Structure 1
Amino acid sequence: MGHTASEGYAYGQLERAVHTAAAAKDGATRQRARAKADRWREVLAGMADGSLRIGSRVPVAGTPAWVTLEVAHGGFATGRFLAEVPLSPAEVALCADGPGTTDRERLNLWYLTDAGLGTLRAMLASESYRIEVPEDAALPVVAWLLDHGHAEAALDLVAELRPYLRRLRLAPLPGAAPRPAGALVRLSTVGEVRGSLGSASTPPAVAAMLETLKVWHPLFDRLVALWCDTVKGDLPRLAENDVTGGWPCRTWPADWTQRRAQWLADYASASARHTASKAHTHPKSNFARLHRALLACERDSTELTGRDVGWIRRALANTVTKHGEPGSEPRAALRALQAAVAARPTHAALAAALAERLDRFPADGGLPSIEAVAGDAPAHLVAKVARALEAPIEELVARNVITSADVLATVLPQITAQLLAANFDNEQLSTLYAQTYAAFRRRRSLLLLDLEHQIRIEELPWVRAIDPLRARRPDAARAARQTVAQTVLLALNAFPHAILPNTLVRELGALAKQAELPMPLVEEVAADIFMGRFTAKWRAAAEITSRTMAGTLYARYYDLPQSWPSTPRPRPFRALAKRTADEFADVCVARASEAQPAHRPRSVAANGTVLEQSQILTTQNLAVLVHTLDLRSRLRASAPALAAESLKWTVTRLATRTDHHHAALQAIKNAAYAWRQALFFLSFCDADTQRATVGQLAEQVTRAGLAERFTPAVTGLAHVVEGGWFTPGGQVDSAAGRRFLGWTTGRHWCLPDAADHVR
C-alpha cells in the first residue's frame, strides 16, 4: 500500500481556515476562507474513510492518474474532479433526448454521433475552442483520428474513456483561445486583468473619510453658523479649561427658522443617501450635540434648558477654537484643502476607468503594448495591467511583471507548448496539442511519497494516442535547446539568490527532452515528507557536479567528493520498482553529521540536514545545467555581479528582524541557500575578484549589525578563498570561522537571541 501523509497538516489548515472565516472583517475574505475550510473537511473525510490516500499519485480510490483533481495547498487532493462540472443550458439542448444515465454522459455520447463529430471537426478547423483542463481535448482527438484514417486508435481511446463519459467533460468549450505568437508570453489575459481591476473597492474607512469631507463637514459648518448667529457678543472660545465669549440663544435672526428647517431637511436627505460615516452621530460629538439642540429648538430657546445652552456654547467653543469662525480664512483654507482631497479619484474609480480602456481588447487575449491603455493611470494600476502584456520573457522580467522564478515557470509553458507542438505536421493537431499542454501544466502537483513521480503528459490516453504521429524535427530541437539556455541564464541573472523551483525544473526538463539533451535535473524535496531515499538521478547529478566544479571555490568550501565509484551500488526498491541511489544517500547522511549536534533520528530537522547535503552535492541543478548547456563562458562574465547580489540578499535576509523562532529558522535556511548560489557564481571568478567580494561582504555584515552573528561565516569563506579547508566538523582550526549551512538539529549558531525565546 505504501505510505500516506499525516492528517496533522490537514487539521492545521482547516483550523486556520475556520479561524479566518470567523475573524476576517472583509466579506470576500470570509467567503474564500469558508470555501477553503470546506475543501479541507473533504480531505480529512476522505483520509478517514480511506477514499483518499494522500501521498500516492492516484490518491482517489478507483481513479486513474490522468484525471485532473482539485488539489489543496501542500498537494492534498480533495477528491473532486475538475472536469466534473454541470452542463450549460446550451449543452443540455444538444443532447436532451439522447441515450445515457447522466446529462454529461448524454452530451459525451452526442459528440460521438455524426452531428457531434462534425461540431468537433468545425472547432478544430477554425481553432474556435478552449481547453481549460486536459480532459477537454479527449473527444477532439477522437474526431481528428477518425478524420485522418486512424479509426482503430480512435476506438481504443473511446473504449478507455467509456467508464468516465458519465462524469467528465471530455470536449472543449466554445470560443477562441488566442495564444501569444512566437516567443511572446503573458502572465494573465485581458479579461483576468479587467476582472481584477473591476473588483477594486474603496475600503470602508476611506469611504467614510471621503463622505465626511464631502457631506458632513459642509453640513456641520452650516450647523455651526446657525448657532453662531444666535450668539450675542464675541463667539465662544476655549481658554485653558474654561469657555470665554458670549452665549448662544441670545438673539434670533429673522431667517433663522427658515434656515433651520432647510438644514434639517438637507440632513435627513444626506442621512438617507450617505451611510458610510457614523462619526457625526456619536452622542458626545459637537455635531450630535448641536443637532439635538436644533431639533429641540423650533423658534427660540424656550424648549432648551440651561444645561442644553451650556453644551451648545461648549460645542461652539470647541470648533471655533480649533478651526476658526464660520467664514473665516483659517476655516475656509482647511475646508478647501479637505475638498481637494475629497475630489481626488479613489483607487476604485481609477481602476474602473482603466478597466474600461481594456474593453476594446479581446478578453481572452493579451495587450500588444502598455502605452495603449496606461495614459495617466497611477503606476500601481499600470503594473496590474502589465500582467496582460504580451512580450518576450526578458521584457516582462525587466518590467518586474515576472518577479520570481516561480512566476517565470508559469509563463514558460506558453513557449514550451509551441515548441513541442511543432513536432506535429498537421496544423490542427499541433494547435490541439499546444492547448492541451498548456492546460496540463496548469494542473497542481500532488504531494507524493515513496519516490513516486507526478503524472507526465504522455500518460494522458488521448496524448498517448497521437504520440506515434509526433516527428522529431531538428529545428524544433534546436529551438528548445536555445530556449532552455536562455531561460536558465535569465533565471540566474534575474533571481541569482534563489534555487530553481520545482515548477521551473519540470518545465526545463520538458524542454531538454525536446532538445534531446539528457539532464539529470533534481527537485527540491520537502523535509517533512522525506523518506530517506533518492533515485538514481541524484547520483548522476552529483557525478556531473564533482567533475564540473573540481578544483573550484565551491568544491573546496563544501568539500565535494573528487570522484564517485564507476559502478554505483543500486538497491531496487521493489515495492515501487524504482532504482534508488543508496550510495548517494549514505554520503548525504554521513556529511549531514556536521549539522547534527543533537541526535534526532527521523525528525524534520534531521531530514533537512540530509536534504541540504543532497542540494550541495548536486548544486541543485546549477552544475548540470552549466555543463550540459555549455554555459561556462556566458556565465563567467556575469558571475561577479551575481555573486555580489546573492551575498547582499543573504545579509539583508538575515538582518530582517523577527521575534518568531520558526521565521528566524526559515530566514537562516533561505540565507544559506542564497549563500550556496553565491559560492557557485564566485567559483567562476578569479582569485582577486573573490577576495574583493569577501571584503565587501565583511563591510555589509558590519553595516547590517550582523558582525557578532555572521562573522564566523565570513571568516570561514575568507579562509577557503585563500586556499584553506574546513575541518571535518565544518570549522577553521586557526580562527573562529565556520561553514555556513542552513539546517541543524540543534540551536543554529547564527540564530538571533530574540528569536530563541519565542517558540
Structure 2
Amino acid sequence: MGHTASPTYAYGQLQRAVRTALSAKDGATRKRAQAKASQWQDVLTGMAAGSLRIGSRTPVADTPAWITLEVVHGGFATGRFLAEVPLSPEEAALSGTNDRERLNLWYLTDGGLATLRGMLATESYRIEVPEDAALPTVAWLLEHGHAESALDLIEELRPYFHRLRLAPLPGAAPRPAGASVRLSTVGEVRESLRSASTPPAVAAMLETLKVWHPLFDRLVALWCDTVEGDLPRLDETGVTGGWPCRTWPRDWQQRRGEWLADYASASAQHTASTAHAHPKSNFARLHRALLACEHDSTELTGRDVGWIRRALANTITKHGEPDSEPRAALRALQASVAARPIHAELAAAMVERLDRFPADGGLPSIEPVAEDAPAHLVAKVARALEAPIEELVARKVITSADVLATVLPQITAQLLAANFDDEQLSTLYAQTYAAFRRRRGLLLLDLENQVRIEELPWVHAIDPLRARRPDATRAARQTLDQTVLLALTAFPQAILPNTLVRELGALAKQAGMPMPLVEEVAADIFMGTFTAKWRTAAEFASRTMAGTVYARYYDLPESWASAPRPRPFRALAKRTADDFADVCVARAGGARPSWRFRSVAVNGTVLEQSQILTTQNLAVLVHTLDLRDRLQAAAPELAAQSLTWTVTRLATRTDHHHAALQAVKNAAYAWRQALFFLSFCDEDAQRATVRRLAEQVARAGLAERFAPAVNGLAHVVEGGRFTADGRTDDGAGRRFLGWTTGKHWCLPVVRKKGSAGL
C-alpha cells in the first residue's frame, strides 16, 4: 500500500465552504458554497470509509484509472464519476428508454451503430467527457474491418454499461479554425453577461435621482407657495425669511392631492431607495405635514409650521429655490448621470448582439458585438474571440501561463489528430483529446503519474492506426517553439505551470524531440525523492548555463559526470536519482531528513534547490529548441520585467504572515527567472539592470529589507561568488531564496498596533 493524503486539508476546505454557505449575502455564492461543502463531505466520508485513497492514481476503490472522476481543489477525488449522469431527453428519444445500460446496449444494435456512424459522418456530436467517445470508436472499428479490436473494447467497457455515458450527445461541436483558439464559447459568455445585476446601492441612487428628487422638488415648491415674504434660508443666526402656511393659492389643495397620488404610486413601484422615508429627512417632514393639512392649515400646530420652515430653509440654502438656476443645474447634472446606461443594461444589450452567433461556437471578430461598449464588457466578450494565441495574449484575454495552458489543447488536439488518415477518426480523436485535457489532475504521491490519454481503452484501440506524418511533426515543432517563446516573453516572471508543461511534453513527443520536462511538486506532498528526469534536466542546465550569472549566483555544479545511482522506491518500477536528491538536500543545508516526520518548510527548501538545479525547464527548452539567439534580443527586457514584478510583489503590504511568506516565495521564483534571462545579456546590460533594480527598490521603500539581495546580485554580476552560507565576503549581500526553515530575512517587520514605524 502506498501513502495516502491527510484528511486535514479536506476538513479545512469543508469548514470554509460551510462558513461561506452560512454567511454569504449573495444567493448564488451561498449555493456554490453549499455544493462545495457537499463535495468535501463526500471526500471525507470516502476517506473515512476507505473507499477513497487520496494520493493514488486510482483513488476510487475498484475503479480503473481511465474513468473520469469528479476532482475538487487540491486534486481530491469525491468518488463520483463525471460520466455517470441521468439520460438526457435527446438520449431517451433515441432508444425509447430511460435506462443507461439499455441505451448503451442499444448503441450496439444495427440501429444504434447506424446512429453513431451518422454522427461521425456529419460531425454532429459533442464529446463533453472522454467516455463519450467510447462507443463511437466501436462503431468506427466495426465499419472499417477491425472487429477483433472492437470486441476487445466492448469487453473492457461492458462492466460499466449500467453507470457510464459511453456515447456523445447529438449536436455539432464547432472548433476554432486552423491555429485559432478561444477561451470560452459564445454561450458561456452570454450566460455570464445575463447574470449581471445592478448593485443595490446603485439601484437606490438611480431611483433617487429619477423618482424621488423630482417628487421632492415638487413638494418643496408646493410648500414654498404658502410662504409669505422671502423664502426661508439659513445663516449664522439660524433660520431667516418668511413663514410658510400664511398664504394658500386657490389650486393648492388640488396640487396637494395630485402629489400625494403620485407619491403613493411611486412608493408602490419603487422600493430600492428608502432615504426619502427617513423620519428626520426634509422629505419626510414635509410629507408628514402635507398629510396633516387635509382640509386647511388649522390642522397644523405651531411646531409643525416651524419644522416646515426649517426643512425649506435647509434645502433652499443647500440647493437653491425651486426653478432657480442653481437647483436646475444640479438636477440637470443628476438627470444626465441617471440617464447613462448601467452595467446590467449594457450587458443585456451585448447579450442581444451575441444571440446572432451559435452558442457553442466562438466569435470571428468582436468589433460587431463590442461596438460602443465599455472596456470591461469588451474584455468579457473577447473571451469568446477565436484568434491566434498571440493575439489573445496581446488583447490580455490570455492573462497567465495557466490560462495559456487551457487553450493550447485546442491546437495540440488538431496536430495529434492529423496523424490519423481517416478524417472521421481524426475528428473523433481531436474531440477526445480536448475533453481529456479538461480532466482535473489528481493529487498523487509515491511518484505516480497522471493518467495518460493512451490509457483510455478506446484510444488504445486506435493507437496502432496512428501514423507519424511529416507535416504534423513540423507543425508540432513550430507550435512548440512559438508557445515556449510566447510563455517566456508574455509571462517572464512565472514558472511554467504543470498543465502547460504536460501540453508542451505532448507537442515535443509529436515533434519527435522528447525532453526531460519536470513538474512543480507541492511541498506538502513531497516524499523526498525524484525520478531520473530531474537529474537529466539538471545536466542540461549545468551545460547550458555554464559560466553565466545564473550558474555563479546559484553555484551550479559544473558537471554531473558520475553515473546516477538509482534507488528503488517502494514497489514502484520507477528509476529514481538518489544522487540528485542528495545534492538537493545538501544544498538546502541539511542531511536527508526522515521523510516520515518531514516538515513543509524542509520540503520547500529541498524542492527549491531542485528547481534551481534544473532551471525548472528553462534550460532544457532553450537548449533543445535552440532558442538562445531568438531569446537574446528580448532578454534585457524580460529580466527587467521579472525584477519589476519581484519588487512590486514584495512591496505589496499584507498583515497576514502566511501571505507574506507566499509573497517572498513567489518573488524568489520571479527573481530566479530574471537571473536566467539576465544570463543572456552582455555585461553592460547586466550592470544597467542592477542599477535600475536598486532605484526601484529605493522608490518602493524596500531598501532596508531588500538591499542585501541587490548587493548580492551586483557582486555576482561583477564576477564574485557567495560564501558557503550564501553571503558576500563583506556581509552586505545575500543570495535570495524563497524557502527557509527559520524566519526569512526578507520578511517585513510586523509591529504591534500602537508602535512606531511600519
Secondary structure of the structure 1 residue equivalent to 2:443: coil
Query: How far does residue 445 in structure 1 lie from its aligned partner after superposition?
Result: 0.8
Query: How far does residue 600 in structure 1 lie from its aligned partner after superposition?
Result: 13
Which of these residues, 385, 394, 397, is aligned with residue 381 of structure 2?
Answer: 385
- 1:660–1:755 CA contact under 8 A, matched in 2: no
Query: Which residue of structure 1 lines up, in the alignment, with residue 611 of structure 2?
Result: 615
Cα deviation code 1:464-498 (max 9, x no counterpart): 11111101112211111111111000110101111
- 2:233–2:313 CA contact under 8 A, matched in 1: yes
Residues 547-696 of structure 1 mapped to structure 2, 5 A cutoff:
547-593=543-589, 602-696=598-692
The yes-or-no answer on 1:716 pairing with 2:712 is yes
Query: Which residue of structure 2 lines up, in the alignment, with residue 82 of structure 1?
Result: 82
- 1:260–1:294 CA contact under 8 A, matched in 2: yes
Measured in 2, the distance between the counterparts of 1:117 and 1:600 equals 54
Residues 510-521 of structure 1 mapped to structure 2, 5 A cutoff:
510-521=506-517
The yes-or-no answer on 1:20 pairing with 2:32 is no
Provide closer, same or farther for how the CA distance between residues 661 and 574 of structure 1 changes in structure 2, counting only shifts above 3 A.
Answer: closer
Provide closer, same or farther for how the CA distance between residues 619 and 518 of structure 1 changes in structure 2, counting only shifts above 3 A.
Answer: same
Query: Which residue of structure 2 lines up, in the alignment, with residue 403 of structure 1?
Result: 399
The letter for the 1-side match of 2:226 is T
Residues 98-113 of structure 1 mapped to structure 2, 5 A cutoff:
103-113=99-109
Secondary structure of the structure 2 residue equivalent to 1:77: strand
Query: How far does residue 595 in structure 1 lie from its aligned partner after superposition?
Result: 13
Measured in 1, the distance between the counterparts of 2:597 and 2:371 equals 61
- 1:546–1:561 CA contact under 8 A, matched in 2: yes
Secondary structure of the structure 2 residue equivalent to 1:571: coil
Secondary structure of the structure 1 residue equivalent to 2:421: coil
Larger mean Cα displacement after TM superposition, 604-613 or 726-735: 726-735
Query: Which residue of structure 1 lines up, in the alignment, with residue 57 of structure 2?
Result: 57
Measured in 1, the distance between the counterparts of 2:60 and 2:274 equals 53
The yes-or-no answer on 1:258 pairing with 2:263 is no
Which of these residues, 737, 744, 751, is aligned with residue 741 of structure 1?
Answer: 737
Cα deviation code 1:131-189 (max 9, x no counterpart): 11111111100110111101111111111111111111111111111111111111111
The yes-or-no answer on 1:242 pairing with 2:238 is yes
Query: Which residue of structure 1 lines up, in the alignment, with residue 11 of structure 2?
Result: 11
Measured in 1, the distance between the counterparts of 2:419 and 2:475 equals 12
Residues 329-344 of structure 1 mapped to structure 2, 5 A cutoff:
329-344=325-340
Larger mean Cα displacement after TM superposition, 566-575 or 138-147: 566-575
The yes-or-no answer on 1:165 pairing with 2:129 is no
Larger mean Cα displacement after TM superposition, 54-63 or 459-468: 54-63
Which of these residues, 224, 229, 237, is aligned with residue 225 of structure 2?
Answer: 229
The letter for the 2-side match of 1:477 is T
Residues 483-502 of structure 1 mapped to structure 2, 5 A cutoff:
483-502=479-498
Gaps of 5+ in 2: none
Measured in 2, the distance between the counterparts of 1:429 and 1:566 equals 47
Query: Which residue of structure 2 lines up, in the alignment, with residue 95 of structure 1?
Result: 95
Secondary structure of the structure 1 residue equivalent to 2:397: coil
Secondary structure of the structure 2 residue equivalent to 1:64: coil
Secondary structure of the structure 1 residue equivalent to 2:449: coil
Provide closer, same or farther for how the CA distance between residues 594 and 336 of structure 1 changes in structure 2, counting only shifts above 3 A.
Answer: farther
Query: How far does residue 63 in structure 1 lie from its aligned partner after superposition?
Result: 1.4
**Count of matched residue positions in the alignment of Structure 1 and Structure 2:** 752
- 1:647–1:675 CA contact under 8 A, matched in 2: yes
Query: How far does residue 516 in structure 1 lie from its aligned partner after superposition?
Result: 1.4
Provide closer, same or farther for how the CA distance between residues 594 and 307 of structure 1 changes in structure 2, counting only shifts above 3 A.
Answer: farther
Cα deviation code 1:589-627 (max 9, x no counterpart): 00001899xx99611111110000000000000001011
- 1:229–1:252 CA contact under 8 A, matched in 2: yes
Which of these residues, 172, 177, 185, is aligned with residue 176 of structure 1?
Answer: 172
Measured in 1, the distance between the counterparts of 2:242 and 2:115 equals 88
- 1:535–1:579 CA contact under 8 A, matched in 2: yes
- 1:600–1:606 CA contact under 8 A, matched in 2: no
Provide closer, same or farther for how the CA distance between residues 584 and 756 of structure 1 changes in structure 2, counting only shifts above 3 A.
Answer: farther
Residues 35-434 of structure 1 mapped to structure 2, 5 A cutoff:
35-96=35-96, 103-240=99-236, 242-434=238-430
Query: How far does residue 397 in structure 1 lie from its aligned partner after superposition?
Result: 0.7
Secondary structure of the structure 2 residue equivalent to 1:753: coil
TM-score by length of 1: 0.97
Measured in 1, the distance between the counterparts of 2:82 and 2:311 equals 63
Measured in 2, the distance between the counterparts of 1:219 and 1:233 equals 24
Query: How far does residue 22 in structure 1 lie from its aligned partner after superposition?
Result: 2.0
The letter for the 1-side match of 2:252 is W
Measured in 1, the distance between the counterparts of 2:522 and 2:454 equals 26
- 1:497–1:645 CA contact under 8 A, matched in 2: yes
Measured in 1, the distance between the counterparts of 2:28 and 2:290 equals 41
Measured in 2, the distance between the counterparts of 1:297 and 1:77 equals 72
- 2:228–2:242 CA contact under 8 A, matched in 1: yes
Measured in 1, the distance between the counterparts of 2:100 and 2:62 equals 19
Measured in 1, the distance between the counterparts of 2:239 and 2:507 equals 82
Query: Which residue of structure 1 lines up, in the alignment, with residue 693 of structure 2?
Result: 697
The letter for the 1-side match of 2:428 is L
Query: Which residue of structure 1 lines up, in the alignment, with residue 449 of structure 2?
Result: 453
Secondary structure of the structure 2 residue equivalent to 1:302: helix
- 1:18–1:37 CA contact under 8 A, matched in 2: yes
Measured in 2, the distance between the counterparts of 1:339 and 1:624 equals 63
- 1:594–1:728 CA contact under 8 A, matched in 2: no
Provide closer, same or farther for how the CA distance between residues 188 and 5 of structure 1 changes in structure 2, counting only shifts above 3 A.
Answer: same
Measured in 2, the distance between the counterparts of 1:90 and 1:642 equals 52
The letter for the 2-side match of 1:15 is Q
Measured in 1, the distance between the counterparts of 2:144 and 2:377 equals 49
Q: Percent identity?
A: 85
Provide closer, same or farther for how the CA distance between residues 412 and 755 of structure 1 changes in structure 2, counting only shifts above 3 A.
Answer: farther
Query: Which residue of structure 1 lines up, in the alignment, with residue 528 of structure 2?
Result: 532
CA RMSD of aligned residues (A): 1.8
- 2:549–2:675 CA contact under 8 A, matched in 1: yes
- 1:142–1:154 CA contact under 8 A, matched in 2: yes
Cα deviation code 1:28-71 (max 9, x no counterpart): 11211121112111111111211211111111112111111111
Measured in 1, the distance between the counterparts of 2:138 and 2:616 equals 41
The letter for the 1-side match of 2:352 is E
Secondary structure of the structure 2 residue equivalent to 1:238: strand
Query: How far does residue 310 in structure 1 lie from its aligned partner after superposition?
Result: 2.2
Measured in 2, the distance between the counterparts of 1:272 and 1:52 equals 56
Gaps of 5+ in 1: none
Query: How far does residue 735 in structure 1 lie from its aligned partner after superposition?
Result: 4.0
Provide closer, same or farther for how the CA distance between residues 633 and 248 of structure 1 changes in structure 2, counting only shifts above 3 A.
Answer: same
- 2:91–2:169 CA contact under 8 A, matched in 1: no
Measured in 1, the distance between the counterparts of 2:343 and 2:393 equals 26
Measured in 2, the distance between the counterparts of 1:700 and 1:14 equals 42
Cα deviation code 1:666-719 (max 9, x no counterpart): 111111111101111111112222122112211211122111111111111111
The yes-or-no answer on 1:753 pairing with 2:749 is yes
The letter for the 2-side match of 1:106 is R
Provide closer, same or farther for how the CA distance between residues 254 and 700 of structure 1 changes in structure 2, counting only shifts above 3 A.
Answer: same
